[in-house]
Amino acid sequence: MTQLFDRNRALLDGALQAMKTRAFWTPFPEVPSGRFYGETARQDGEVAFSDLLGKSFELNGHPCEYHVGKEQSPWDLDLDVTYPAAPVETLIAASQSAFDDWSETSVEMRVGVLLETLVRLNKMSFLIGHATVHTTGQGFPMAFQAGGPHAQDRGLEAVAAAYAELTATVDRATWEKPQGRIEPIVLEKQWSLVPRGIALAIGCNTFPCWNAYPGLFASLATGNTVIVKPHPMAILPLAITVRVLRQVLEEEGLPADTVLLAADEPEAQVSKDLVQAPEIKLIDYTGSSHFGNWIRSHAGDALVFTEETGVNSVVITGTDDFPGMCANLAFSLALYSGQMCTSPQNIYVPESGIVTNEGHKSFDDVFAGIADAIDELLADPKQAPGICGTIVNPATMDRLHRARSVGRVLRDSGETGIGRSATPLIVAVGEEDMLHKDECFGPVVFGIATRTPEAAIDQAAGLAKEKGAITAALYARDPGLIDTAAKAFCHAGVNLSVNLTGNIYVNQSAAFSDFHVTGANPAGNASLTDTAFVAPRFRRVMVRWPKALDNQSVSARG
């Protein structure tokens, strides 16, 4: 019964080890190449994706009273995919009927199913890449990574963290209490792992797999059944995920309804009904703080994990590599047109300018350098759409237009030529302006002049503490300033990247090493993946009896 666990044991052990050492490790190659994925993988993925279009997506045995689906590709491809759907009550009843079997399955069996699922998903990374491209609007290279191997890394990380916690203490013990000169008291004790109930994983539009996998896999590993509620515009990547999970479950004789899909359409979303259902005991959510607040006040006794709104900042006080800095920032700003939760939004530069390896640079020089680097990065019309992707939500275009008028435009936004696109807009605003003090999701960058380098750090860290932030970047030559910034962003609960140049970016968060979201500021309480993210998803319940009675079988579960 633990064949899948044994088969994938090395995967688990590798993850457990890496999560302690935080050194680089991944079992899932991030390069979309036949060298890793097999010679035909690329073409197989394209065919598999085409086969899904214009059809009703098949989920064997899934509750289905009607079909829904209005996804539209920001790349102008007709998707026309629909999904089996059923009322919330039906989904909850189906989840409840799977609950006993799944929750009483051994840890090894559960973890085996999840590891096997991740391995199979990895082999489908090209398919998932295309599904991610046409729901998120990302370019293919990024969609492949973020929807495929990088999401699988985060899923594996959650499974490993859960496994470590599930097995942290014994499940049976003999407790022998000395009684001085008389016979000791001897109790046998046995613990069951009791999951919370039905979990809800609410996906987002921009990173359907990457942001949903941690909660999904953590809840499953700890014995909860899960209802996956994708963003109505990004269902396909999660529908594929649910299908693979259900297939592996069925093969192992476990209830497929352990994982359900709650697909919906923009005009008739089911999130609120699900959140308010008393049977839902765990919620993982990625999205705006606005809806995050609604969830918190309507979730009853459900445990809520979130990644929410934030304002990420870059502080530039000096650099030993001005072109390297500009090129690095250009990529961070252009990548997926600022639609990452890790994308920088505000760039703080002292009004007197900075010292660099190329001499003094004024405030305007700095932004001219960044703007030129963006222009250069996006000069090739074949490359630009792959980097910027498209703008997935039309409301982002409105925000972009509004932002253009609030200050002095340092670089105007343009188009890449394909789909609904927008390259980074850079606008100089004053600290007294307000727009940059909230998240302005999309390819909008604010340049803010500060009186001193220290003021730049103070303002950026202060905003992070108040409004939340997931990343921060600093460019500095002075070790004292680096220390000051490290302390300030530490207090603000933001991970800080210092003096990044070359092929590593502030936006990037690597599983098994970087904790994504610290939980120490308003940008979310779900730190991927620390113990606090997995430990409260289940409980330990004991039965104890005198050892003298041990010939009596006592078994609470299974």
- Total residues in contact with its own copies, by rule CB under 8 A: 72
Does residue number 291 form part of the binding site for its own copies (CB under 8 A)? no
Minimum distance, C-beta of residue 469 to its own copies, in the bound complex (Å): 11
Site for its own copies in 136-165 (CB under 8 A): 165
Give the residue with the Cβ less far from its own copies, 197 or 407: 197
136 in Cβ contact with 206 (< 8 Å):
yes
Binding-residue pattern over the window 178 to 197 for its own copies, x denoting contact by CB under 8 A: xx-----x-x-x-xx-x-x-
Please report, as a single letter, which amino acid is at residue 127.
L
- State the binding string over 336-375 for its own copies (x if CB under 8 A, else -): ----------------------------------------
Tokens of 148: 């495929």
Candidate list 3, 40, 50, 175; residue touching its own copies; CB under 8 A: 175
Q: Kindly list the distances between the CA atom of residue 123 and the CA atoms of 39, 57, 116, 151, 246, in Å, as whole numbers in the listed order.
A: 12, 20, 11, 13, 17
**Which residues are bridge partners to 179 per DSSP?**
182
Q: At its nearest, how many Å lie between its own copies and the CB of residue 376?
A: 21
Residue 486 engages its own copies in binding (rule: CB under 8 A): yes
Q: 454-483 mask for its own copies (x: CB under 8 A)? A: -------------------------x--xx
H/E stretch holding 183: strand 182-195
Q: Does 298 bind its own copies (CB under 8 A)?
A: no
By CB under 8 A, the residues from 197 to 226 that bind its own copies are none
Nearer to its own copies, 19 or 81 (CB): 19
Separate counts of helices (H) and strands (E) for the chain: 20, 20
Residue with Cβ nearer its own copies (20 or 290): 20
Find all residues with CB under 8 Å of 450, minimum gap 6, and list them: 348, 349, 350, 351, 431, 456, 459
Q: Does 379 interact with its own copies (rule: CB under 8 A)?
A: no
Q: Does 545 bind its own copies (CB under 8 A)?
A: yes
- The yes or no reply on residue 490 touching its own copies (CB under 8 A) is yes
User: Interface residues for its own copies in 39-98 (CB under 8 A)?
Assistant: none
Interface with its own copies in residues 253-272 (CB under 8 A): none
d(CA 283, CA 349) in angstroms, rounded, equals 40
Q: Write out the binding residues for its own copies, residues 494-533 only, by CB under 8 A.
A: 494-504, 510, 513-515, 518-520, 527, 530-532
Report CA-CA distances (Å) from 289 to 266, 309, 520: 19, 5, 15
Smallest separation (angstroms) from its own copies to the CB of 503: 6
First to last CA, the chain: 13
With contact defined as beta carbons under 8 Å apart, do 219 and 260 qualify?
Answer: no
Interacting residue with its own copies among 489, 523, 524, 528 (CB under 8 A): 489
- Judge whether 423 and 374 are in contact, CB under 8 Å: yes
Nearer to its own copies, 395 or 542 (CB): 542
Q: Which residues, 17 to 36, sit near its own copies by CB under 8 A?
A: 19-24
- CA-nearest of 340, 309, 312, 341 to 523 is 309
Q: Which helix (H) or strand (E) holds 202?
A: strand 198-202
Residues in CB range of 66: below 8 A, 6 or more apart: 85, 86
Q: Which is nearer to its own copies, 323 or 536 (CB)?
A: 536
3-state helix, strand, coil in the chain (%, to 5): 45, 20, 35
Q: How far is the CB of 463 from its own copies (least distance, A)?
A: 16
The CB-of-279 to its own copies minimum distance in angstroms stands at: 13
Quick one: tokens of 523?
């940008």
Q: With respect to its own copies, which residue has the nearer C-beta, 1 or 549?
A: 549
Q: Which residue has the tokens 């190329």?
A: 358
Question: Which is it for strands 318-319 and 198-202: parallel, antiparallel or unpaired?
Answer: unpaired
Q: Structure tokens of 368?
A: 């001219």
Among 10, 47, 268, 542, binds its own copies (CB under 8 A): 542
- Asked if residue 136 has a cis previous peptide bond (ω within 30° of 0), the answer is no
Using the minimum distance from each CB to its own copies, give the nearer residue, 375 or 483: 483
